[in-house]
């Protein structure tokens, strides 16, 4: 019988990888560390090396067993809808990322009515998050690092959105974005965020502790002194 170690987890914070770099995505997916991927035009420009963006989305979606956010670039609702429908048709894992604007919310409502997943991005205030949930967003992406960058408190926004969504039983998932360091991830989990999207560098940092490395070194020294094999 195979022991499945996750039986007792009712619901844990999901971890998404915030990148379009296929090598990092493959590494994290193969280690079973991620539940999805988020991309944006900046991340694509960094990783694409001239390859067609739609092809990159398709490859990511094949690699990952979970939602893969692909962002529209149109600014009016009709263009967002046309782009969103084309992207959604690439793979069932694709979720459409729209900006938190009037047109973005309009497109969100329509895409959701067509049963297409939507991630409303570039959220910086609780009122924006409330409107996204009312438009039926699957995910809301509050950018905590960019708020911290301008001396605001990014994590306080997460706590406010959590309370508002809980007050009204809104099921839009809070996807903590613009994560800069492991402490953002700790606080997101303490506040009950549904997901955090994390750059590869921060994901690797989540696993590291100097005492783990020192402990392995000391155990191996002692094992070697026994001169045995397992």
Which residues contact ligand E4P by CB under 6 A? 18, 38, 40, 121, 141, 143, 145-146, 177-178, 197
- What is the chain's length? 230
Which of 110/178 has CB closer to ligand E4P? 178
Q: Which is nearer to ligand E4P, 38 or 160 (CB)?
A: 38
Q: State the nearest-atom distance from the C-beta of 127 to ligand E4P, in Å.
A: 20
Query: What ranges make up the beta strands (E) of 179-227?
Result: 195-198
Is residue 208 part of the annotated active site? The answer reads: no
Task: Choose, from 97, 134, 208, 224, the residue flagged as catalytic.
Answer: 97
Q: Is 138 helix (H, G, I), strand (E, B) or coil?
A: coil
Q: How far is the CB of 63 from ligand E4P (least distance, A)?
A: 18
Min separation Cβ 81 and ligand E4P, Å: 20
Task: Tokens for 53, please give them.
Answer: 């963006």
Provide, for the chain, the percentages of residues in helix, strand and coil under a 3-state DSSP scheme, each rounded to the nearest 5: 50, 15, 35
**Distance between CA atoms of residues 165 and 130, nearest Å:** 8
When the beta carbons of 145 and 192 are compared against ligand E4P, the nearer one is 145
DSSP string, 7-56: TT-S---EEEEE---HHHHHHHHHTT--SEEE--HHHHHHH-TT--HHHH
**Residue that the structure tokens 């990952």 belong to:** 64
Nearer to ligand E4P, 45 or 220 (CB): 45
* Catalytic residue annotation: 97
């Amino acid at each position: 019988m195979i022991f499945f170690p996750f039986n007792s987890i009712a619901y844990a914070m999901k971890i998404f990888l915030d990148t379009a770099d296929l090598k990092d995505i493959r590494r994290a997916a193969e280690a079973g560390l991620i539940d999805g991927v988020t991309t944006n035009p900046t991340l694509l420009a960094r990783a694409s090396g001239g390859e067609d963006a739609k092809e990159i989305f398709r490859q990511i979606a094949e690699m990952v067993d979970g939602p893969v956010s692909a962002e529209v670039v149109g600014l009016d609702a009709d263009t967002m809808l046309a782009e969103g429908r084309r992207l959604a048709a690439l793979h069932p894992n694709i979720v459409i990322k729209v900006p938190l604007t009037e047109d973005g919310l309009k497109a969100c409502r329509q895409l959701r009515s067509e049963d297409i997943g939507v991630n409303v991005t570039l959220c910086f205030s609780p009122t924006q998050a409330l409107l996204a949930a009312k438009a039926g967003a699957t995910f809301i992406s509050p950018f905590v690092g960019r708020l911290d960058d301008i001396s605001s408190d990014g994590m306080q926004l997460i706590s406010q959105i959590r309370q508002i969504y809980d007050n009204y039983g809104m099921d839009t998932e809070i996807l903590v974005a613009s994560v800069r360091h492991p402490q953002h991830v700790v606080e997101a989990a303490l506040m009950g965020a549904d997901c955090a999207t994390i750059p590869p560098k921060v994901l690797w940092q989540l696993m590291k502790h100097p005492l783990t490395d020192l402990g392995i070194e000391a155990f191996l020294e002692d094992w070697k002194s026994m001169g045995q094999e397992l």
